[in-house]
Structure 1
Amino acid sequence: MHQYPELGFMEYYTTYVIGEELKKLGFTVYCGKEALKSDARYGVPPESERAENEKRAKAMGVPEDWMTAMHGGHTGIVAVYDTERSGDHLAFRFDIDALPIEEAEQDKHVPFKESFISKNKGVMHACAHDGHTSIGIGLAQFIAQHQNTLNGKFTLLFQPAEEGGRGARAMTEKGWLTGVDAFYSGHIGIQSLPVGTIAATTKGFLASSKLNVHFKGQSSHSGMKPEAGRNALLAAATAATQLHSISRHSEGVSRINVGKLIAGNGRNIISDRGYLELETRGETQNINEYMQMEARRILEAAAAMHHVDVEIDFVGETEELRCDELLIPSITNACQTSDLIQNVEPYALVSGSEDASFMMNEVQKQGGKATYMLFGTHLPDNHHSPHFDFEEEVLAVALDAYIHIVKGGNEIA
């Protein structure tokens, strides 16, 4: 999976590989508009990008029937196995997308040294989603192998476009979490912990909003007619610096980041365009809404200052989430018999954001339980870094945790 990373809503090859494997295991597999609600997707890439990636997927051997189902960025898989015996409905979520990062080509980076570096230039699995996908397929294999001794129903959600908070809402609104008794998701790493250590819950995930901003001005000759120009580059630059000056909120953690700025035409041209990609985060929905409101105010003020127009596109979000602490004892007890799990922490502190929040909140709203776990590994570099990697032994640990959670509700020798 690491060699073939794909960006959100363009995981065509990834979806196909997952889906074919799950079909062989006897799962009922849903893809395309069957798996997610089309108009609930955030930040769908433009048609030109989708077409380029669809062409690449076809060249990699993805059959036409799969491409037809996924056309237009309808990627991701929902796989269901119903034993038709009385028992809990358990749901597990695994994210499958990669990041727009050029992977490091240095011997200290294990994927390069061992020759399984990304084959898709400029795209990299720099957040362990390739590992999550592999864990999900492993869990599916376990369920298939023990189908005769399992009870209840299992739903595995292989979700597209987690990065940027764009994909979970589309699967949630399709109704896959209806009637789920317990929901589990998790992440490799985040904290650098020993392999064999897991956390049953997490605390600190932030609500977030993702914005794309277009400043539109008027180009002109910078020497002969500068007064005729309206400088969108300066508007974008002003906004980028001033956004980071937003006062923080007294009621909790807040964040803002401008992660991308593109502007300008040439040194002797007043720029007629500027583009920003930014995000806000808050410990609660209210704090995040405050940060977003202030960000919009500054963006509009920067446009007014430089006499340009501004368009603000809302392209992604996550909600605040709270793990059910009632699951800590059951997870801890279930994992006691694991030969791979050495330590179960009740919780781990984090400070990112997760669109699995949509799924968790939907389950909890209906009276079910939900948690987001961590699986320990040494991290040679940060998440979202060209040198990101993890110890592959964590794959077996994370899979064993999920297996023991399933076994905890079933009588399996």
Structure 2
Amino acid sequence: MSDFVSHMEPKLISWRQSFHSYPELGFMEYVTTYRLGKVLEGLGFTIHLGEEALERDARLGVPNKTELDKHELQAKAKGVEESWLAKMRGGLTGLVATWDTERPGDHVAFRFDIDALPITETKDTNHIPAKEGFHSMIDQTMHACGHDGHMTIGLGVASYIAAYQSILKGKFTLLFQPAEEGGRGAKAMTEKGWLDNVDYFYSGHIGIQSLPIGTIAATVDGFLASSKFNVTFSGVASHAGMHPELGKNALLAAAVSATNLYTIPRHSDGITRINVGKMVAGSGRNIIPSDAFLEMETRGETKKINEYMLTEATRIIKAAAGMHDVTCEITPVGITEEMICSEALIPTIIEACKSSDYIKEVLPVAKVSGSEDASFMMNRVQQQGGKATYLLFGTELNYPHHHQAFDFQEDVLPIALDAFIKIIEGGSGIE
């Protein structure tokens, strides 16, 4: 289907640049969801939106009502139809698109993440999005992790299914998932049941490693289980000069926590990580700080190791609060599981991609780090007897993911699309 992919290239570029210029943070991807949905609706897919797509109570780290209301008003101003907005209201973003060929065959699911990051994109003219005029139009928000490309690839896969539906068989489910950053969105889609009775599940990522264009990896190894949480310390304010003894210093409790968390012993069974990424405290130089706030995370090579890190972190936080006679509240805002790709898919993917005019090399496995909430989807499929994997799509990376100057080579888009098409064809997706 190289002619199809070649034909799609200009559209892929256009979609990617449009998504890049209007990034939205997790559970606030109202405009993004609408734009995706209108394309998919036009292709003939059945669209599942709002509570049809997500289990409301399984979401983690949902923004506060003020933020949601603001972004909903912005979405309305950007032309999102009220009938769509009504279903998404309250942070029920993302969608699921389904296609049933009504011919016996496998049920194949694909996941594409859609959220951006709270990063201000560089305006440096050496940065291609700035140079070519498709840099972020939204302050302090940027597609700095390739999700603009992932959505584009998803629309390409959908376009292929629609174009060749007469010769395809089985069922296809495309999950355009909100709030991947922070491990917040996949669980909500998984708990809705979308991964039940799926035979094959595929997701993937542009970059992560800097690999030559034309190189893909059939599986990955190294994603960690993780817990994301916020900590609020509450003390008592007082005049720092006249009555310091009457104050209870929340800032000190937070600082003691932040420094001592890094002293947790490493675990002998595998990799561990911990990070305090944000601390906010105090209101003035002569006031004992009554409030302090941390955003942090733990990671572990397995669920068990991550639980060890979380338990130790919780102990230290509570001890620091007790030391300074303040209270603390620990609020979970995200979670991921360990991920083990189905090795049985490696030879299938390698064989399927041999006929590609775009793919030059298929690595059996690529080493990665970090965490992925697609783990919930993969694990649900595998638990029920299906096979699942997570691919990498090679590109040159001049800057790392989550950097203000992050970008990728757009030539990777047709390569990734062709990889998924070859997988569909190689998995007997054609009648």
Q: Name the TM-score, length of structure 2 as normaliser.
A: 0.95
Q: 2:96 & 2:409 partners in 1: Cα distance?
A: 28
Mapped partners of 1:378, 1:23: distance in 2: 34
Q: CA deviation at 1:32?
A: 0.2
Task: Give the match's secondary structure for 1:270.
Answer: coil
Instruction: Look up the equivalent residue of 2:278 and give its one-letter code.
Output: K
Amino acid at match of 1:383: H
How far does residue 158 in structure 1 lie from its aligned partner after superposition? 0.2
**For the residues of structure 2 that align with 1:310 and 1:384, how far apart are their CA atoms?**
30
Equivalent residue pairs, number: 413
Q: Which residue of 1 aligns with 2:10?
A: none
Match of 2:158 in 1: 140
Quote the Cα distance in structure 1 between the aligned partners of 2:416 and 2:240: 59
Q: Quick one: distance in 2 between partners of 1:32 and 1:407?
A: 31
Give the corresponding residue for 2:271: 253
Question: Using the alignment, how far apart are the partners of 2:429 and 2:423 within structure 1?
Answer: 12
Match of 2:134 among 116, 133, 143: 116
The reply to whether residue 234 of structure 1 matches residue 252 of structure 2 is yes
For 2:149 and 2:214, locate their aligned partners in 1 and report how far apart those are by CA, in whole Å. 16
User: Residue 24 of structure 2 contacts residue 141 of structure 2 at CA under 8 Å; is this kept in 1?
Assistant: yes
C-alpha contact 1:207 1:319 (8 A) present in aligned 2: yes
Which residue does 1:21 correspond to in 2? 39
Residues 60 and 333 of structure 2 are in contact (CA less than 8 Å); yes or no, is this contact kept in structure 1? yes
2:398 is aligned with 1:380: yes
Residue 315, structure 1, aligned to residue 333, structure 2: yes
Name the SS for the 1:344 alignment partner.
Answer: strand
Counterpart of 1:395 in structure 2 is 413
Aligned match of 1:60 in 58, 70, 78?
78
Partner residue, 1:352: 370
**Structure-2 residue corresponding to 1:45:** 63
1:118, 1:2 → 2: CA distance? 6
Range with greater deviation from structure 2 (357-366 or 99-108): 99-108
- Deviation sequence 1:357-396 (CA, Å, 0-9, x none): 0000000011000001100000110111111110010111
Report the counterpart of residue 3 of structure 2 in structure 1: none
Structure 1 CA distance, aligned partners of 2:131 and 2:57? Answer: 42
Once the two structures are TM-superposed, the CA of residue 237 in structure 1 deviates from its matched residue by 1.2
The answer to whether the 8 A contact 2:215-2:361 is kept is yes
Contact 2:105-2:429 within 8 A present in 1 as well: no
Aligned: 1:263 with 2:281: yes
Separation of aligned partners in 2, 1:71 and 1:365: 33
Shift of 1:113: 1.3
Measure how far apart 1:178 and its partner are: 1.2
Q: Which residue of 2 aligns with 1:196?
A: 214
The separation in 2 between residues aligned to 1:211 and 1:173, in whole angstroms, is 21
RMSD: 0.9
2-structure distance, mates of 1:105, 1:208: 33
Query: Pick from 201, 206, 220: which aligns with 1:183?
Result: 201
SS at 2:61 equivalent? coil
Unaligned runs of 5+ in 1: none
Task: Give 3-state SS (helix, strand or coil) of 2:382's partner.
Answer: helix
Aligned amino acid, residue 169 of structure 2? N
Which whole-Å CA distance do the structure 1 matches of 2:427 and 2:239 have between them?
A: 72
Alignment equivalent of 1:306, drawn from 290, 301, 324: 324
CA contact (8 A) 2:348 2:427 kept: no
Q: Quick check: 1:149–1:410 contact (8 Å CA) kept in 2?
A: no
Residue 412 of structure 1 deviates from its aligned partner by 5.6
Which whole-Å CA distance do the structure 2 matches of 1:380 and 1:68 have between them? 41
The offset of 1:115, in angstroms, is: 1.1
Inter-partner Cα distance in structure 2 for 1:283 and 1:108: 38
Residue of structure 1 in register with 2:342 after alignment: 324
Structure 2 distance, partners of 1:105, 1:162, is 26
Q: Distance in 2 between matches of 1:396 and 1:302?
A: 52
Task: Tell me, yes or no, if structure 1 residue 296 matches structure 2 residue 314.
Answer: yes
Query: Which of 65, 68, 71 matches 2:89?
Result: 71
Deviation sequence 1:128-156 (CA, Å, 0-9, x none): 00100000001000000000000101000
1:110 positional shift: 1.2
**Unaligned runs of at least 5 residues, structure 2:** 1-18
Amino acid at match of 1:202: V
User: Counterpart in 2 of 1:154?
Assistant: 172
CA distance in 2, matches of 1:253, 1:374: 22
> Which of 271, 286, 300 is matched with 2:304 structurally?
286
Whole-angstrom CA distance in 1 between matches of 2:405 and 2:286: 38
Report the residue type matching 1:181 in the other structure: D
CA distance in 2, matches of 1:403, 1:179: 21
Measured in 1, the distance between the counterparts of 2:427 and 2:116 equals 33
Structure 1 residue runs of 4+, over 6 Å off?
A: none
Kindly indicate whether the alpha-carbon contact (under 8 Å) linking 2:180 and 2:186 is maintained by their aligned counterparts in 1: yes
TM-score norm. by structure 1 comes to 0.99
1:408 Cα deviation (Å)?
Answer: 1.1
